[in-house]
């Protein structure tokens, strides 16, 4: 399921980062009294009333006439040199959002900056099913007492509907605001037209900027349907293309590059993590593209972590293989390095290609389809329990405090990804190393190449293994 995106926007120093941290349940955004502390977008997952969504924090939007040297000092004292970039980032977040939390400050009342932000929001809203989207929830922050909560009514002037008075610092009123947000997101979900049944295999091409994702897409398609540029970050949005390979319908999802937060430079093109994450969520298989000329980096591993977090299957594709000098040991050294850096994905196949020359590109789609087939395999209960019996005979289950873990029986309960439930005497006795051992034994019997395996441990009364 693709999680909806909620953007926090407003002028500087209204408490967006404080609310972000409260919704995240932990301190992720830097909070400071100096306006303009938050520059780039920051995102995390949150949930309320059973609905999961992604929260995006943004930098404060300064009034356009208050740029430094143009009629006065900007509100963003701490980021005066980045006002245009901060505004661009915030507007990008609004474009991507399914809903917006528009923060204002009861202590200062309605300001010219608030009015300008409201105009920006109206500019990005569009009508669908008779309703404006993205939906905007007006949040009046710093309402710490009854008098301040009553003063929130003056914000009706912004024309953004009912104002919700909250205290992001102490949590007051946040629950009512979230109830309104969830209701808005559910209404939007109902307003979405139902897609025709799509049985295509969805393959996302992901990777950091400038590794050749669009070039690979074009080579696969055999035509230039995506913009290719040597400038990192050319692709802003995900692009779907449709092909058929040996009668199998495929949706190819090209995505914007993902960068580490510390490497993000100002500008909309440089930061498109949210759309790339959503593309991974939509996919069955992710092609993780690496650059052979730079070797695997920590950011490549970071993106691989996104893929695993979403329980998606994967193929590692090493691009620009034609651009490096090689000897008889090169490919083994590369594979050893990749396996070491991606040790949490030991099951993924690796392909070495050149999107520029077309070298071995014809192996990429067959590899992805093979991985998808593995993702759909279901083992019988008798097969699963034979694997468990053999595994326990090879390596006894762990014990703790004199108590031995006993696995009574197991079964595969679903595919996409393959999910196994093990019924044991006490789940607390299952050490993660033994769970990994069992996963490896399952893979020894049936490979599940390129796909993660989920093992769930549950307490159950003793039953004989089937």
Q: Summarize pLDDT for 339-382 with one digit per residue, the tens.
A: 999 999 999 999 999 999 999 999 999 999 999 999 999 999 99
Topology, domain 201-375: Rossmann fold (3.40.50)
Tell me if domain 201-375 and domain 381-459 are identical in fold.
no
Cα separation of 64 and 83, whole Å?
Answer: 9
pLDDT above 50 for 116: yes
For 452-465, what is the mean pLDDT? 80
Mean pLDDT over each residue of the chain, to the nearest integer: 81
Q: What residues contact residue 223 under an 8 Å CB cut-off, 6+ apart?
A: none
For 185-196, what is the mean pLDDT? 57
CB 117 within 8 A of CB 93: no
In this prediction, residue 462 carries a pLDDT of: 56
Q: Summarize pLDDT for 373-384 with one digit per residue, the tens.
A: 999 999 999 999
Cα separation of 371 and 452, whole Å?
Answer: 10
Binning the chain into helix, strand and coil, the percentages to the nearest 5 are 35, 20, 40
Ranges of each domain in the chain: 5-191, 201-375, 381-459
In this prediction, residue 334 carries a pLDDT of: 93
Q: What residues contact residue 12 under an 8 Å CB cut-off, 6+ apart?
A: 35, 36, 59, 60, 61, 62, 75, 76, 113
CB 273 within 8 A of CB 258: yes
> Is 5-191 a CATH 3.40.50.300 domain?
yes
Cα separation of 200 and 441, whole Å?
Answer: 31
Please state, in angstroms and as integers, the Cα–Cα distance from residue 399 to each residue in 403, 425, 433, 462, 463, following that order.
5, 12, 13, 17, 20
In this prediction, residue 71 carries a pLDDT of: 46
Given the candidates 3.30.300.20, 3.20.20.70, 3.40.50.1820, 3.30.930.10, the CATH classification of the domain at 381-459 is 3.30.300.20
Which tokens in the block code for residue 351?
Answer: 């392909």
Please state, in angstroms and as integers, the Cα–Cα distance from residue 259 to each residue in 58, 140, 214, 270, 295, following that order.
17, 33, 16, 8, 16
391: helix, strand or coil: helix
pLDDT over 90 percentage in the chain: 50
In this prediction, residue 35 carries a pLDDT of: 39
């Amino acid at each position: 399921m693709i999680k909806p995106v909620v953007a926090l926007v407003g002028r500087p120093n209204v408490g967006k980062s404080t609310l972000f941290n409260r919704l995240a349940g932990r301190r992720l955004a830097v909070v400071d009294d100096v306006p303009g502390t938050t520059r780039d977008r920051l995102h995390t997952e949150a949930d309320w009333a059973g609905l999961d969504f992604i929260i995006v924090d943004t930098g404060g939007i300064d009034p356009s006439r208050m740029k430094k040297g143009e009629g006065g000092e900007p509100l963003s004292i701490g980021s005066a040199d980045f006002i245009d970039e901060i505004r661009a980032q915030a507007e990008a977040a609004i474009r991507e959002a399914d809903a917006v939390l528009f923060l204002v400050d009861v202590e200062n009342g309605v300001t010219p900056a608030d009015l300008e932000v409201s105009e920006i929001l109206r500019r990005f809203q569009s009508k669908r099913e008779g309703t404006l989207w993205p939906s905007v929830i007006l949040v009046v922050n710093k309402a710490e007492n009854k008098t301040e909560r009553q003063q929130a009514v003056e914000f009706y002037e912004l024309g953004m509907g009912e104002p919700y008075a909250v205290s992001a610092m102490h949590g007051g009123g946040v629950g009512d605001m979230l109830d309104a947000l969830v209701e808005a997101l559910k209404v939007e979900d109902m307003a979405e037209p139902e897609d025709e049944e799509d049985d295509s295999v969805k393959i996302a091409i992901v990777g950091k900027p400038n590794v050749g994702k669009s070039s690979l897409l074009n080579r696969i398609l055999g035509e230039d349907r995506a913009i290719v540029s040597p400038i990192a970050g050319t692709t802003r949005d995900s692009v779907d293309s449709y092909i058929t390979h040996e009668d199998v319908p495929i949706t190819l999802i090209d995505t914007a590059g993902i960068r580490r937060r510390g490497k993000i430079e100002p500008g909309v093109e440089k930061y498109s993590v949210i759309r790339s994450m959503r593309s991974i969520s939509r996919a069955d298989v992710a092609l993780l593209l690496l650059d052979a000329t730079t070797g695997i980096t920590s950011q490549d591993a970071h993106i691989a972590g996104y893929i695993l977090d979403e329980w998606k299957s994967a193929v590692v594709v090493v691009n620009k293989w034609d651009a490096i000098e090689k000897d008889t040991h090169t490919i083994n050294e590369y594979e050893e390095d990749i396996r070491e850096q991606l040790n949490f994905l030991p099951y993924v196949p690796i392909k070495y290609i050149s999107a520029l020359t077309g070298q071995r590109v014809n192996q990429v789609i067959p590899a992805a389809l093979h991985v998808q087939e593995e993702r759909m395999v279901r083992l019988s209960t008798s097969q699963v329990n034979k694997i468990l019996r053999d595994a326990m005979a090879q390596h006894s289950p762990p014990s703790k405090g004199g108590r031995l873990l006993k696995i009574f029986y197991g079964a595969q309960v679903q595919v996409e990804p393959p999910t196994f439930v093990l019924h044991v005497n006490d789940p607390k006795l299952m050490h993660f190393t033994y769970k990994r051992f069992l996963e490896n034994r399952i893979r020894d019997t049936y490979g599940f190449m390129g796909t993660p395996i989920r093992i769930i441990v549950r307490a159950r009364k003793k039953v004989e293994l089937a």
